[in-house]
Amino acid sequence: MKAWLGLLAALATSPLAGAALQDVEWTSPGGDAGKTHFSPLTDIDPGNVARLGLAWQAELGTNRVLEATPVMVGGVLYTSGVAGRVYAFDAATGRELWRFEPDIDMQINRSVCCDMANRGIAVAQGLVYVGALDGWLYALDAGTGAVVWKVDTIEDHHRGTSSTGAPELAGDLVVLGNAGSDYDARGYVTAYDRRTGALRWRFHITPKDPALGPQDNPELDAALKTWDPASRWDIGAGGSPWDAIAYDPETGLVLVGTGNAEPYSLTARSPRGGHNLYVSSIVAIEARTGRMRWFYQESPEDQWDYDATAPMILTHMTIDGRDRAVVLHAPKNGFLYALDRATGAVLRANPIVRVNWARHIDAVSGEPELDPAADISAGPKIVFPATPGARNWHPGAYDAARGRWYGAVLDMGNLIFVPPGPKPYAAKGLNTGAALIFTSDLARALPTLPPPVQAAVKALPAWQDVLANPARADIRAIDPLTGQTLWSDPTGGWQDRAGVLATASGLVVHGTIGGELRVLDAQTGRLLKSIRTGTTIMAAPMTYRLGGVQYIAVMAAWGGGGYPYVPTYSAAYQRGNMGRLLVFRLDGGPVPIPPPLPPLEIAPPPPPQAPGVTPATIARGQGLYFSVGCALCHANQPRSITPDLRRMSTETHAAFRQIVLGGLYQAAGMPRWDDALKPADADAIHAWLIDQQAKTRAEDLEKRRRGLPLDAPSLAILSNY
């Protein structure tokens, strides 16, 4: 009750009080300095939300991922899109004011695990900041989109480093992290003068090979003691802070969530063990000096791809009778933390999904007790949560008055094992050194694994749990001090996760990959309004008031991790992936729905195999296809947003070498591979794809004979049911 009275008193004395026509901005992707994704606006409420409809939309000319949350400043709605494109619109009418497209080096696509994503921009004093996929940081004129300055943030272009996160403003600095821990990156975060782009400081997350000389920052001397001197320094060690950077003006600290370690196996990475600082951690850096004040490692000895890069929320909470400035963090590893912002002390840490990598977290030290049952270095293990994480990049929201955290939660595990054989360093390539199968698919996939792996999996304690409850995804309201779920709203499947918005009027707003905008009652989780969009929504909505009207805006398109594997229940699978910005208001109209995709056509006949192609050639091509990384972009599924290479045209077959080795389609995002593949390698991959196309065509013809749709499950799967 006191919290409610406090909120009402604050609203009564704030500029919002009685100012129905006052504009209310949304000044950062998180909405405010604490990145709470919470709005004090109450114009749209449970009593009138049934009238919500489309105010305006903008088609953004892409069929790739849109993950950013827009920003509204000065009546202009700014947002970012694929690879760091930036758009500016009149926030009331939708009239496009300008757009910016960075000149991207498309070779970067070889070192990006999770699509050409960008998670937002920063705006301050007439400048718009964006990090492009290939690592360039741009400052744009907010009125025209012209480049004011740009700087290359990539330290070593010989490594697979990219940028996908939103820049963070920290006083007179703009701070940007980098991605690439699954490749061969050594993580770091960099601060630049926001007026000139001059480098102010850089903080490295993991040590470099001590044989190369002194460490880059003194904190790494301490970190080095937590690594084996004989670690796989050649691979880079990981730790890349690809998202989750938050500036705390109360302490002057930049809080940085760091990425996973690589390779995944601890004994392969750091043979004599160690916590391996500062991977999978929150690192607090003084904005003024670039020196570390404190750190908290959420997942010591990370072997499970447990990035600590999920968005952070900065707020105040009463804990144990004291007002505490806290950072709320729900990372991949399955716990929801409340940490003291000034010291990093763990005030609360509660599991919100099934967790078996740690037995518990010590209430005093904050140290997790690791469970040997999750040590993948010792053999195949079923580990909860899975590598996609209990949480990921999808922003959560925090309502301080109600004391509730809202967000998308995934309760799923995966089988992880280290395939036999050496793991040589692959420059700019995947260096995780592990195989993964999600528990959502494990029962079906298990018979395809080698018999020793099958036997090991069935003997694991988690196997029966997998059979009973393979995966669950939902939007939840959670008490952040206890971890208790107060209500949950199930989603369509494990990939159906989106960012959320909460408002003071008692609304929780999120999208679905099925193509809906859903508005829930914040107190009960009851569905108040569903708007059919026909386009997948994964980004977090935001809201603003302009000219006396409250608007809700959201980016819409499928993509991100596993982006070529389009779920059958998604709007992207059914209607394509036309990227849009959708803006809603009371008494708006219907959303234009994209038409259904046309029926699939039978795969065209492939060309004959080249002379000399043998079963061994085809098998080698299959191995290259998956080991080099082709399968990361080409799922060979009928409704993928990238080409299904089992259905290539005669012209594509004829140009195959030019495409793969010569960069014929580089402008469309297909990089060249002539530095990693020899002509014989490309020919072997082509031979396997020809073989796959012949099999796909034969199955298509049989489905047509049986009267089945061509995108029905394969006949081999159907025969098992």
Q: Which two tokens stand for residue 573?
A: 């699978």
Which residue among 115, 134, 248, 305 is the active-site one? 305
- Give domain status of residue 366, yes or no: no
What's the pLDDT at 638?
84
Q: What is the mean pLDDT of the chain?
A: 94
Q: Which two tokens stand for residue 705?
A: 């004979």
Q: Which of 187, 202, 195, 196 is nearest to 243 (CA)?
A: 187
Domain boundary at 570, 597, 624, which? Answer: 597
Cis peptide before 385 (omega within 30 of 0): yes
Structure tokens at 332: 């991949």
pLDDT of residue 716: 54
Question: Which CATH number is 649's domain given?
Answer: 1.10.760.10
d(CA 15, CA 27): 16
Check whether residue 498 and residue 580 sit in a common domain: yes
346 domain residue, yes or no = no
Please report the pLDDT score of residue 636 as a whole number.
85
Cβ within 8 Å of residue 701, ≥6 positions away = 602
Mean pLDDT of 405-428: 94
pLDDT at 706 exceeding the cut of 50: yes
CB 407 within 8 A of CB 399: no
- Mean pLDDT across 669-673: 91
Q: What whole-number distance in Å separates Cα of residue 57 and Cα of residue 701?
A: 41
- In terms of domains, do 534 and 630 share one? no
Q: How do residues 519-563 score in pLDDT, each as one tens digit?
A: 999 999 999 999 999 999 999 999 999 999 999 999 999 999 989
Nearest of 133, 473, 499, 180 to residue 313 by alpha carbon: 499
Are residues 632 and 701 located together in one domain of the fold? Answer: yes
Decide if 610 is inside a domain.
no
The DSSP element (H or E) to which 38 belongs, if any, is strand 38-39
Q: Give dist(CA 629, CA 430) in Å, integer.
A: 7
Residue 559 lies in a domain: yes
What is the per-residue pLDDT across 78-90, written as a single tens digit (0 to 9) for each? 999 999 999 999 9
Span 251-267, average pLDDT:
97
Query: Phi-psi category of 252—alpha, beta or left, where left has phi over 0 and alpha has psi -120 to 50?
Result: left
Position 1 in a domain: no
Residues 488 and 553 in one domain: yes
Of 247, 263, 244, 249, the C-alpha closest to 120 is 244
Averaged pLDDT, 376-405:
97
How far is C-alpha 668 from the chain's CA centre? Answer: 23
Looking at residue 5, its pLDDT comes to: 32
Residue 546 sits in a domain whose CATH number is 2.40.128
Domain match, 641 and 705 both? yes
The least confident of 1-5, 138-142, 319-323 is 1-5
Do 573 and 654 sit in the same domain of this protein? Answer: no
Q: What is the pLDDT of residues 598-630, one digit of tens each?
A: 999 999 999 999 999 999 999 999 999 988 889
Same domain? For 687 and 619 the reply is yes
- Kindly state whether residues 620 and 713 are assigned to the same domain: yes
Question: Is 425 among the domain residues?
Answer: no
State both tokens at 441. 């698919």
Helix (H, G, I), strand (E, B) or coil at 472: strand
Among 567, 597, 627, the domain-final residue is 597
Residue where a domain terminates, one of 541, 563, 597: 597
Annotated active-site residue 221? The verdict is no
pLDDT, position 16: 43
Q: Tell me: pLDDT of 14 over 70.
A: no
Same domain, 494 and 545: yes
Residue 588 lies in a domain: yes
Residue matched to tokens 């469970």: 371
At 639, the pLDDT band (50, 70, 90 cuts) reads confident
Residue 668 belongs to some domain of the structure: yes
- If asked whether residues 651 and 571 sit together in one domain, one would say no
Same domain, 591 and 483: yes
Same domain, 673 and 624: yes
pLDDT for 715: 72
Residue 667: is its pLDDT beyond 90? no
Largest CA distance in the chain: 82
Query: What pLDDT score does 21 carry?
Result: 66
Higher pLDDT, 429 or 40: 40
Q: What is the pLDDT of residue 712?
A: 82
The number of domains in the chain is 2
Range of the domain at 628: 615-718
